[in-house]
Structure 1
Amino acid sequence: MVEVLRPIGAIARALDSIANYEFKDLALAKGQYLYLVRIVEQPGITQTELINLLKVDRSTAARALRKLETQGFITRVLDSANEKNKRLFSTNKGKELYTTIRRENDYSNQTALTNFSSQEAQLLATLLARVEDNISADWSYVKKGNKREY
C-alpha cells in the first residue's frame, strides 16, 4: 500500500509551525490564522460551518474564536433568520492581518509547487480534494460518536 498520509501530515505540521512562528508578531495565537482567513474569505459563516470546513472540534473552535473576538479581529452578529446562530465577520483590523496571512500562504503554496508544471499542480489539487472528501466522511462519522471498523 502506498503511504500518503504521513507526508501530508508532515507537510501540514511544517507549514503550521512556520505560520505560527511568523504570525507571533501579528498577535495571533497558535492556529488562529486558520479561522481568521476563512472568516474573511466567507463573511457571515457560522461557527458550525467553520468547524466543518476546518475539521476541528467545537471547544477548540470556541476558544480560538473567543480570542479573535477579544483581540478585535472578528465580530459575531446574530442571524436574523435563526437567533441560535451567530454569523462571523472580520473587522477592519482582521482584514489588515489577512493581507499578510494571504501573502504567507501564497509564498508557501508557490514554494510547495516549485518544479511542478501547471498540469501537475492542477492534478495534485484535484487528487488532494478527493483525499479530503474521502476523509471528511470518516471525520463526520466519528464526530457523531461512531467508531470506524478497521
Structure 2
Amino acid sequence: MTANNYSSLLKYISMMKRDTNRYFQLKLKKFNLGGGQQFFLLRIAENPGISMYDLARTGAFDKATVTKAVNKLLAEGYITQETDAKDRRLKRLKTTDKAKEVIDYVYEIRDKWISQMMDNFSEEEAMTIYKGLEKMAEHTGAAICKMNEEEKKGEQ
C-alpha cells in the first residue's frame, strides 16, 4: 500500500493525542496540573534522581519542554531538585510525599483511558496495534535523528 492509502493516519494520531491531553487536563485539574506534566511526574517517580537530560530522553522531548514541566512540578511541590554531588551541572529530580496521591491517581486514570481506547478490541488486535505504534515511533525517532545528523553535517 502507498502513503495515499493512509492519508488520514496523521489526522487520527493527532485526534487521539488531543483527546488524551484533554482527558488528562480534565482529570488532573484538581491537582493544579495540566495534561503534559503527568508523563514527567511518572518518569521521575519511576526513576528517582533522574537528571533533566535523561528525563528529556525518555520521551524525546526538547530541553524547553522538560524545563517547563519540571518548573511546574517544582512550583506545585510534587518534586524536588538537588544538585548532583559529582557533577554540579546536573540537577537530580525526586518526587515528594505530596506527589504520592497524584502518582497513584495518574496510574489509575491512565489505565482507565487505555482501556477506553482499546475497548472492543481483542487481545490480539490490541497487541497488533501496540506493536505497530511502537514500530512507528521507532521509525519516526530514527528519521528525526538522521535529519538532525544531516543538518549538523550541512552546518560544517
- Say yes or no: does 1:67 pair with 2:72: yes
Aligned match of 2:11: 6
Identity of aligned residues (%): 27
| Structure of greater relative contact order (alpha carbons < 8 Å, 6+ residues apart) | 1
**Residue 144 of structure 1: CA displacement?**
6.8
For 2:148 and 2:78, the matched residues in 1 are separated by 28
Equivalent position of 1:84 in the other structure: 89
**Could you tell me which residue of structure 2 aligns to residue 22 of structure 1?**
27
Larger helix percent: 2
TM-score (norm 2): 0.83
- Work out whether 1:39 is the aligned partner of 2:37: no
Aligned 8 A contact 1:75 1:88 in 2: yes
Give 1:141 deviation, angstroms: 4.8
Match of 2:126 in 1: 121
Against the structure 1 CA distance between its residues 34 and 142, is the aligned structure 2 distance closer, same or farther, given a 3 Å change threshold?
Answer: farther
Deviations 1:86-127 (A, max 9, x none): 221111111220111111100000011111111221121111
- Whether the 8 Å CA contact 1:55–1:139 is kept in 2: the answer is no
Q: Gapped runs of 5+ residues in structure 1?
A: none
- Among candidates 90, 108, 114, match of residue 109 of structure 1: 114
Letter in 1 for 2:77: G
Q: Distance in 1 between matches of 2:117 and 2:111?
A: 10
Cα separation, 1, equivalents of 2:26 and 2:14: 18
TM-score w.r.t. the length of structure 1 is 0.86
Going from structure 1 to structure 2, the CA distance change for 1:24 and 1:75 (only over 3 Å counts) comes to same
Where does the alignment leave 5 or more consecutive residues of structure 2 unmatched? none
Root mean square deviation of aligned Cα: 2.1
Q: 1:142 to 1:48 in 2, by over 3 A?
A: farther
Give, in angstroms, the shift of residue 142 of structure 1.
5.3
